[in-house]
């Protein structure tokens, strides 16, 4: 098992599409920055074959500082959640 | 944003035809899918990571009927948002503390 990073994705673009390595890595960065901008605007990203990334609001809740045991309110915040598409789930379980 | 909107935005930013931006997008999605299918994880700094968790088979219940069912072993992908994206998504609500005041 290994870890796929931007580097491996850039290599795939380079090898499969014949785009220079330098351009490939810029392009990969651009793809993720487009995705990030959309999510930062609160707009979810739906890639049919892969899945959907959504920004969800989490309401404030009571929590404790695990170190001091002090009770505190955890402010409301947003989180990004991912729902895999049916196709992706099927691919993983083939 | 769906895939074709992503492709359009990409084409514009990298100054390439839609067709090529489409091939690039598909190559990325395919590469990521294959990685997860072979049990690899994906880690994009600043964006987030995808990790596959494996579940053994277990006996579950249909929550509606209470009927016992055997759930076969499965793998599921999970996403964990990266630090930069998490912070940017949150900074858009105008400061965490002031946002709580009613």
CB contact under 8 A, A8 and B74: no
HEC sequence for chain A: CCEECHHHHHHHHHHHHCCCHHHHHHHHHHHHHHHHHHHHCCCCEEECCCEEEEEEEECCEEEECCCCCCEEEECCEEEEEEEECHHHHHHHCC
Q: Is A2 on the interface with B (CB under 8 A)?
A: yes
Distance CA B77, CA A84 (A): 7
- Out of A28, A46, A60, closest to residue B28 by CB: A28
CB contact under 8 A, A91 and B25: no
CB-CB contact of B27 with A17 (8 Å) = yes
Q: What are A3-16's pLDDT values in tens digits? A: 999 999 999 999 99
Neighbours of B55 (CB within 10 A): 11
CATH code for residues B3-90: 4.10.520.10
- Out of A12, A45, A73, closest to residue B31 by CB: A12
CB contact under 8 A, B3 and A46: yes
Minimum distance, in Å, between the CA of residue B33 and any CA atom of chain A: 7
Q: What are B12-44's pLDDT values in tens digits? A: 999 999 999 999 999 999 999 999 999 999 999
Q: Residues A61-87: what's their mean pLDDT?
A: 90
Q: What are A17-67's pLDDT values in tens digits? A: 999 999 999 999 999 999 999 999 999 999 999 999 999 988 888 888 888
Contacts of A47 (CB under 8 A, 6+ apart): A85, B2, B3, B6, B29
Q: What are B45-71's pLDDT values in tens digits? A: 999 999 999 999 888 888 889 899 888
CATH class of A54-94: few secondary structures
Q: Model ipTM? A: 0.88
Indicate the domain borders of chain A: 1-43, 54-94
For residue B74, give Cα distances in angstroms to A18, A28, A91, B52: 36, 30, 11, 10
Indicate the domain borders of chain B: 3-90
């Amino acid at each position: 098992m290994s870890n796929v990073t931007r580097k491996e994705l850039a290599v795939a673009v380079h090898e499969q599409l014949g785009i220079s390595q330098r351009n490939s890595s810029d392009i990969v960065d651009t793809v993720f920055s487009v995705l990030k901008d959309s999510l930062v605007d609160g707009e979810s990203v739906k890639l049919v074959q892969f899945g959907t990334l959504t920004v969800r609001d989490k309401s404030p809740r009571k929590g404790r500082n695990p170190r001091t045991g002090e009770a505190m309110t955890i402010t409301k915040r947003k989180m990004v959640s991912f729902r895999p598409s049916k196709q992706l789930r099927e691919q993983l379980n083939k | 944003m769906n895939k074709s909107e992503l492709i359009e935005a990409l084409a514009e930013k990298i100054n390439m035809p839609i067709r090529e931006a489409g091939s690039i997008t598909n190559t990325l999605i395919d590469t990521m899918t294959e990685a997860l299918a072979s049990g690899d994880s994906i880690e994009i700094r600043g964006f987030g990571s995808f990790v596959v968790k494996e579940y053994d088979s277990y006996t579950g219940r249909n929550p509606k009927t209470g009927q016992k069912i055997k759930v076969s072993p499965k793998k599921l992908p999970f996403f964990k948002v990266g630090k930069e994206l998490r912070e940017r998504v949150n900074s858009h609500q105008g400061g965490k503390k002031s946002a709580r005041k009613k």
